[in-house]
Amino acid sequence: MSNPPAPDSGRLSVPPSAVQTLARAFTDFGVLYPAQQALAAEFVDLLGDAEDPFERARLAGHFTASALVVSGDGARTLLTHHRKLGMWLQPGGHADGDRDLARLALRETEEETGLAGVTVQPRIFDLDRHWIPEHKGVPGHWHYDVRYVVRAGSDETFAVSEESHALAWVPLRDVADDDVYDASLRRMARRWLEVPVG
């Protein structure tokens, strides 16, 4: 009687780590959006940094996640008037060690808006690297922001958190066309209007 063949190690399914999954997602994003391919490569490079880029203690720059919160009808986005930055922005925050950035975008949406019944679309929707100025003794630093679409449920009632001056549902067309909004927020609004996701 012969021995059964040894399992083919090339066929064994080993779940990828969160970092490997993110590296693949950044690369795929760069292929999908060639104008941001070089930026996506910077995000991949940051994943390999010896100092943990998922912790805000890495003052050279670290990962954050945010959400383009889209209404059920797909026509509006929920913006927060950010208390620290004094601008209308999408909700988001620091990873603080969490390597599941889609989950982080969902959690920040729930915490900053009070929306219930929201869902996150797992594919990266946008990447942005932006400078955060010094604030209360924390030196200026780079945010490597990974953006996801979060869809509102049937209840669009929000609650203003301590991080905001105000929240407002704004037509995505207005955001896309009005230079009062941050350039990267306008880019996301235009992207959504060009090819709605889900």
What pLDDT was estimated at residue 55?
A: 96
CATH code, domain carrying 32: 3.90.79.10
Report whether 151 contacts 118 (CB < 8 A). yes
Q: Is the dihedral of CA 90, 96, 100, 106 positive or negative?
A: negative
Total domains in the chain come to 1
Maximum Cα–Cα distance across the chain: 78
Q: Is residue 12 part of a domain?
A: no
Q: The domain containing residue 124 runs over which residues?
A: 17-194
Q: Is residue 9 part of a domain?
A: no
pLDDT at residue 5 greater than cutoff 50: no
pLDDT at residue 13 greater than cutoff 50: no
Q: How would you write the chain as a 3-class SS string?
A: CCCCCCCCHHHCCCCCCHHHHHHHHHHHHHHHCHHHHHHHHHHHHHHCCCCCCCCCCCCCCEEEEEEEEECCCCCEEEEEEECCCCCEECCEEECCCCCCHHHHHHHHHHHHHCCCCCEECCCCCEEEEEEECCECCECCEEEEEEEEEEECCCCCCCCCCCCEEEEEEEEHHHHHHCCCCCHHHHHHHHHHHHCCCC
Higher per-residue pLDDT: 6 or 92: 92
What pLDDT was estimated at residue 126?
A: 98
What pLDDT was estimated at residue 196?
A: 55
Q: Is residue 45 part of a domain?
A: yes
Residue 172 pLDDT class (50, 70, 90 cuts): very high
Output the pTM of the full model.
0.88
Q: Is residue 120 part of a domain?
A: yes
pLDDT at residue 141 greater than cutoff 90: yes
Q: How would you write 9-45 as a 3-class SS string?
A: HHHCCCCCCHHHHHHHHHHHHHHHCHHHHHHHHHHHH
Q: Is residue 8 part of a domain?
A: no
Q: Is residue 6 part of a domain?
A: no
What pLDDT was estimated at residue 192?
A: 97
Higher per-residue pLDDT: 9 or 119: 119
Average pLDDT over residues 44-66: 95
Q: Is residue 116 part of a domain?
A: yes
* Mean per-residue pLDDT over the chain, rounded: 90
| Choice among 110-114, 119-123, 161-165, 194-198 with the minimum mean pLDDT | 194-198
Report whether 66 contacts 92 (CB < 8 A). yes
